[in-house]
Amino acid sequence: MYGTMRSLRALQHYRQSLLIGLILGLALGVCFVGGFLFRGFIDLQTAQARDVSSEAKSDYSLLVEVQTLLNQFYLREQPSPQEREYAAIRGMLTTLGDPYTFFIDPPVAQSESDVLAGTYGGIGVLVQRSEQGDLVLHPFAASPAKNAGIEEGDKLLAVNQTPVDLTMPADALDQMLRGEVKEGSGVELTIEKTSDGTQLTLFVPFGVINVPSVVWRTLAENSTIGYIQILLFTSRTPEELTTALTELQQMAGVEALILDLRNNSGGLLQEAVDVAGLFLNGGVVVYERTNSQELPLNAAGNGIATDIPLVVLVNHRTASAAELVAGALRDRERAILIGQTTYGKGTVQQIYRLSDESSLHVTAAEWFTPDRIQLDGKGLEPTIAMIPDVNGRDVELGEAIRYLAQQVQGT
Catalytic residues: 320, 345
Q: Where are the alpha helices (DSSP H) in 332-377?
A: none
Amino acid identity at 145: A
- Residue 264 to residue 317: CA distance in whole angstroms: 6
Strand partners, 310: 257
- 386-392-398 Cα angle (round to 5): 50
- Residue 211 to residue 213: CA distance in whole angstroms: 6
Burial-class residue 22 by CB neighbours within 10 Å (0-12, 13-18, 19+).
middle
Helix (H, G, I), strand (E, B) or coil at 26: helix
Helix/strand/coil percent split, the chain, to 5 = 35, 25, 40
* Residues 215 and 231: beta-carbon distance below 8 Å: yes
Strand partners, 102: 361
Helix (H, G, I), strand (E, B) or coil at 199: strand
